[in-house]
């Protein structure tokens, strides 16, 4: 069963089957002015997300009922809700699974509640900054069309389902074709600040972006510049 705690501000959904963790995270979020809704299993988490429309969700990977990966994917499809995965697993495969289905960040237990709150603020800033910067208009590169106002991309008329993080990276590339970006520069352009480990996650997001776009060989492409970073080429 889920609960709600009020403190004004944006609503954050916190989901973990460990009630002590949920209460600790709730306490720190409330101190920073957030309103928190709590769930301790997957089914309740989905019900709360649909009823409360949170600005962001913090999800444990392993949950009773529906697991965190399924919830994350559902939130991306239904509402594009930003997600921070919270888990005891720390392998690269687990991190890639979470990022692949749309998580914006990944925090491994045990963690610092203060750092988690900082990550929450950073993700929310990213979302707001992109929304404010997207005043409408279309960027076109051959078969690739990017609608900056609607946060949508198409390839040869085919709609591409991108996570908020993937769209932000694509937009950063498209606004500076031919420029070589280091991973840190991509973090600076597409996000607000980097945390330990997140720079490596850029590689995963770009790999997913390339796979989803599936651009023709003579079209625009995101190229790896070995030892430096990445470059977006507009193509012929």
How do beta strands 105-108 and 83-87 pair?
Answer: parallel
* Global confidence as pTM: 0.61
Q: Tell me which of 90-104, 135-149, 169-183 is least confident.
A: 90-104
The tokens describing 58, both together, are: 């913090």
Region 134-233: CATH code = 1.10.10.10
Maximum alpha-carbon separation in the chain: 56
Which position has the higher pLDDT, 208 or 129?
A: 208
The tokens describing 27, both together, are: 């306490």
pLDDT 10s digits, 23-61: 999 999 999 999 999 999 999 999 999 999 999 999 998
Q: Is 190 helix (H, G, I), strand (E, B) or coil?
A: helix
pLDDT exceeds cutoff 50 at 225 = yes
Q: Is 37 helix (H, G, I), strand (E, B) or coil?
A: strand
Architecture of domain 3-131: 3-Layer(aba) Sandwich (3.40)
**CA-to-CA dists, residue 166 to 161, 173, 184, angstroms:** 9, 11, 16
pLDDT 10s digits, 105-121: 888 888 999 999 998 98
What is the DSSP annotation of 136-159? Answer: S-EEEETTEEEETTTTEEEETTEE
Assess contact for 146 and 180: CB atoms under 8 A: no
Over the chain, what is the mean pLDDT? 83
Q: How confident is the model at residue 12 (pLDDT cuts 50, 70, 90)?
A: very high
Domain ranges of the chain: 3-131, 134-233
The two domains 3-131 and 134-233 share their CATH topology (first three levels equal): no
């Amino acid at each position: 069963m889920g609960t709600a705690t009020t403190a004004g501000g944006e609503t954050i959904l916190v989901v973990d089957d460990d009630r002590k963790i949920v209460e600790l995270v709730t306490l720190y979020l409330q101190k920073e002015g957030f309103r928190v809704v709590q769930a301790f299993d997957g089914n309740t988490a989905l019900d709360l997300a649909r009823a409360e429309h949170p600005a962001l969700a913090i999800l444990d990977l392993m949950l009773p009922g529906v697991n965190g990966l399924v919830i994350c994917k559902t939130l991306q499809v239904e509402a594009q809700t930003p997600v921070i995965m919270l888990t005891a697993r720390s392998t690269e495969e687990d991190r890639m699974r979470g990022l692949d289905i749309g998580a914006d960040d990944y925090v491994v237990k045990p963690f610092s509640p203060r750092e988690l709150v900082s990550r929450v603020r950073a993700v929310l800033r990213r979302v707001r900054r992109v929304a404010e910067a997207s005043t409408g208009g279309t960027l076109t590169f051959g078969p690739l069309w990017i609608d900056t106002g609607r946060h949508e991309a198409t390839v040869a008329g085919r709609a591409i389902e991108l996570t908020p993080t993937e769209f932000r990276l694509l937009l950063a590339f498209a606004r500076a074709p031919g420029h070589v970006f280091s991973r840190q520069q991509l973090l600076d352009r597409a996000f607000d600040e980097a945390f330990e480990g997140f720079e490596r996650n850029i590689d995963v997001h770009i790999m997913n972006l390339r796979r989803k776009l599936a651009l023709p060989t003579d079209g625009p492409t995101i190229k790896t510049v070995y030892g430096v970073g990445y470059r977006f080429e507009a193509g012929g």
